[in-house]
Structure 1
């Protein structure tokens, strides 16, 4: 049976670094039954400069054995508020990924998997793919969809919180414990402590001499 890899680039959003600087990122959603992917459904957000990095990295890693498709051209007059320009770039980015995902050689590249299915920055992608992190590529992919982590300790904490999640399911199913459940546990503990205190006081009363106060 032919394996299916479906990818969408959509939902452009303006993100502000500060009052003067902003950029657009895009949601990349992947659905697949391919053996190349451990996680069958995923969703991450990437900006145009990260796509530029990905193309350069894949071209370098493939040792020029694959002719990579082109990205949408850079436009010096590109405007974040120009819906037509944003839509054209978004379509171009999707076409780029669709063509990339047709190459078995590129599908074996860990950087591509981390780009599509992890929240790692490009610098952390390079470090993880080179084995310079305490977490593996598979662990970084598994953590996809949880809060963006900035350190290896954050990643390990996220992985422990999601240790029971199915790697083939959408990351939205990996949730932290609900606050209500935490409160319930605290209240139950408090009630148990109160009951123990009451029982102890009753036992002290029964064991004390009659007439004592």
Structure 2
């Protein structure tokens, strides 16, 4: 029985990609980059086996701080790529290096059974809630549960907690910090066949600034 259990655990796969950097504009003078996080897994730890959300660097910083606090300093978490005061939105090399560092961070995080039980990690990877709403949801201070926020991400937008309580077929994107969450099953399955394609979207960085900013979706 033990051998069968070990075999089942070893067969569980968690694949994560950080890809598709996009410039987002806060206002006329300020902009930032967010990244698509694609998850494809058969692990029993995850309610949703395929998902895609967008996160920015500051949200990764929030996640690491929460995971470190929730683990009560019992674990030494991997480091994020360092914050560069001279980071340029026009530098494809800097963006590529940061994106690879963020992916490595997530890959290492997902190897820890203890961290896989953290609700903040699941909300970060599989909902489009803002950090404040992820924190509230994980603490049980919202009308929707962590499982509901994850399961219904990507179906439709909702604008209040009451909306989700009335209709659980609504999405998890409530005043999120980035673009609308989507259901990417076919696209991510294709990525799973060839993980190298996870960085193919960097070709977009060769386009003009005007073309890149045309992708803006009004994030806050």
Query: Does TM, scored on the shorter chain, surpass 0.5?
Result: yes
Closer, same or farther in 2 for the Cα pair 1:23/1:161, shift >3 Å?
Answer: closer
Judge which range, 103-112 or 14-23, deviates more.
Answer: 14-23
Partner of 2:38: 29
Judge which range, 10-19 or 153-162, deviates more.
Answer: 153-162
Partner of 1:171: 183
Find out whether 1:59 has 2:71 as its counterpart: no
Q: 1:152 Cα deviation (Å)?
A: 0.6
Instruction: Kindly indicate whether structure 1 or structure 2 has the higher relative contact order, using CA contacts under 8 Å at least 6 residues apart.
Output: 2
Q: Note if contact 2:53-2:126 (Cα within 8 Å) is conserved in structure 1.
A: yes
Q: 1:153 Cα deviation (Å)?
A: 2.7
User: 2-side partners of 1:25 and 1:37: how far apart?
Assistant: 23
User: 1-side partners of 2:93 and 2:85: how far apart?
Assistant: 15
Report the TM-score when normalising by structure 2. 0.71
Which of 63, 78, 94 pairs up with 1:69? 78
User: 1-side partners of 2:102 and 2:167: how far apart?
Assistant: 30
**SS state at 1:90 partner:** helix
Aligned alpha-carbon RMSD (Å): 1.8
Q: Deviations over 1:63-97 (max 9, x none)?
A: 11111000000111000110000000000000000
Partner of 1:132: 141
**SS state at 1:88 partner:** helix
Q: Note if contact 1:143-1:158 (Cα within 8 Å) is conserved in structure 2.
A: no
Unmatched 5+ stretches in structure 2:
1-7, 172-181, 186-220
Closer, same or farther in 2 for the Cα pair 1:6/1:63, shift >3 Å?
Answer: same
Q: 1:157 Cα deviation (Å)?
A: 5.8
Q: How many residues are paired up?
A: 166
Partner of 1:83: 92
User: 1-side partners of 2:148 and 2:66: how far apart?
Assistant: 21
Q: 1:27 Cα deviation (Å)?
A: 0.2
Q: Note if contact 1:143-1:155 (Cα within 8 Å) is conserved in structure 2.
A: no
User: 1-side partners of 2:56 and 2:164: how far apart?
Assistant: 22
Q: 1:151 Cα deviation (Å)?
A: 2.1
User: 2-side partners of 1:99 and 1:59: how far apart?
Assistant: 14
Which of 116, 124, 129 pairs up with 1:120? 129
Larger Rg over CA atoms? 1
Report the TM-score when normalising by structure 1. 0.74
Q: 1:147 Cα deviation (Å)?
A: 4.6
